[in-house]
Amino acid sequence: MTKPRVMELLLVTTVPTMVLAHGGLPNLPLIVATLIGGAASSGSASAFNMYLDRDMDARMRRTSGRPLVTGEVTPRSGLIFAWLLAISSTVWFWCLVNYLAAALSVCAILWYVVVYTILLKRRTEQNIVWGGIAGCFPVVIGWASETGTVSWPAVILFLVIFFWTPAHYWPLSVKYGEDYRCVSVPMLGAIHGIEHVAKRVIAYAVVTAMTSILLIPVAGMSWTYAMVAVVGGAWFVWEALRLQAAARRAEAAARPMRMFVVSNAYLALLFAAVAIDTLVKYRLR
């Protein structure tokens, strides 16, 4: 119920952000406390999402094996579990990290559950654009855990993930378009053809790459990060252009999941570069 694979974003983005905020390797107990709290917070949001979406999950092939659909977990137990994780993650952050991290964790849960799941998901093709803000919170939580504030570098990393999310998820929505159509969820890939999706992916990939470069002057990043941001961003955009070109030739030739995989690799490389660049500068002091 906690969607462990969704938590990968937490691990990929939180620790490098903490390294950047600290200007070196942060205190290990603080990293562990932040990751545990973040995992519980993310798991809570996912559990609430499964509880609220259990009606359509039962009708979608991709989600038909979820525990609330199969009966392994009752709706009441699932809801209690979600609340327990939400409360425990908030208390955990408040007691072991700081109040700002706790407040941001609560905001992340509310955004995913209320804004995305309840208000947007079943109503608009913009659902993943604005709902995806929930996935941006790990970086500001990581920064707040280390500094007790939210500064401009954290805001830029927040925006990188904000613009990256649609370019990452829309290709996946093409693959599962039939599932979304059968439950009347207006994911972009379910209501538009692959060529239209590709155009939108290109736009968001370009803005993501440009936003990542802003971190260089704002956070004083060196050539290590700059090289990954420029080359990786160019790769990200190039793959989006390839998706569009393939879609123009024939929709059957397009490979949206290639773009999905590339987007994951790009984000992982970018945040790895944030950590490596910071640690190298720290060692050279």
Summarize pLDDT for 82-130 with one digit per residue, the tens: 999 999 999 999 999 999 999 999 999 999 999 999 999 999 999 999 9
Q: How confident is the model at residue 284 (pLDDT cuts 50, 70, 90)?
A: low
Average pLDDT over residues 185-193: 93
- Domain boundary among the residues 150, 167, 183 is at 150
Q: Where in the sequence is the domain holding 261, given as residue range(s)?
A: 151-285
Among candidate residues 139, 118, 142, the one with its CA nearest the CA of residue 130: 118
Same domain, yes or no, for 274 and 180?
yes
Closest to 144 in 3D by CA, of 270, 42, 14, 278: 14
Q: Could you give the CA distance from residue 64 to residue 56 in angstroms, rounded to a whole number?
A: 9
Residue 132 is given by DSSP the state G
Q: pLDDT tens digits for 269-278?
A: 999 999 999 9
Total structural domains in the chain?
Answer: 2
Record the pTM. 0.94
Which among 111, 132, 150 is the end of a domain?
A: 150
The pLDDT value recorded for residue 285 is 61
Which among 111, 127, 150 is the end of a domain? 150
The pLDDT-based confidence of 131 (bands split at 50, 70, 90) is: very high
21, 275 contact by CB (below 8 A): no
- 47 and 97 share a domain? yes
**Predicted pLDDT at 201:** 97
Q: What's the pLDDT at 254?
A: 67
Together in a domain, 177 and 60:
no
Same domain, 35 and 123: yes
Q: What is the mean pLDDT of residues 64-77?
A: 94
Residues 55 and 94 in one domain: yes
CB distance 14 to 138 below 8 Å: yes
20 plus 145 within the same structural domain: yes
Summarised one tens digit per residue, pLDDT across range 12-68 is 899 999 999 999 999 999 999 999 999 999 999 999 999 999 999 999 998 999 999
CATH label of the domain that carries residue 96: 1.10.357.140
Measure the CA–CA gap between 194 and 197, rounded to whole angstroms.
5
- From residue 181, alpha-carbon distances to 9, 95, 129, 136 in Å are 27, 44, 19, 27
Residue 137 pLDDT grade (very low, low, confident, very high; cuts 50, 70, 90): very high
pLDDT at 37: 96
CA dist., res. 139 & res. 24, Å (int): 16
Q: CA-CA distances (angstroms) from residue 251 to 42, 77, 119, 215, 244?
A: 35, 43, 32, 37, 9
As a whole number, mean pLDDT of residues 174-181 equals 92
What integer pLDDT is reported at residue 252 of this predicted model?
54
On whether both 136 and 182 belong to a single domain, the answer is: no
Query: Does 52 share its domain with 142?
Result: yes
211-257, pLDDT tens digit by residue?
999 999 999 999 999 999 999 999 999 999 999 998 888 665 568 89
CATH number of the domain bearing residue 217: 1.20.120
Confidence of residue 146 (pLDDT cuts 50, 70, 90): very high
177 & 139 share domain = no
Residues 2 and 91 in one domain: yes
Examine the domain organization and report whether 29 and 120 are in the same domain.
Answer: yes
Do residue 128 and residue 256 come from a single domain? no
Residue-level pLDDT at 281: 81
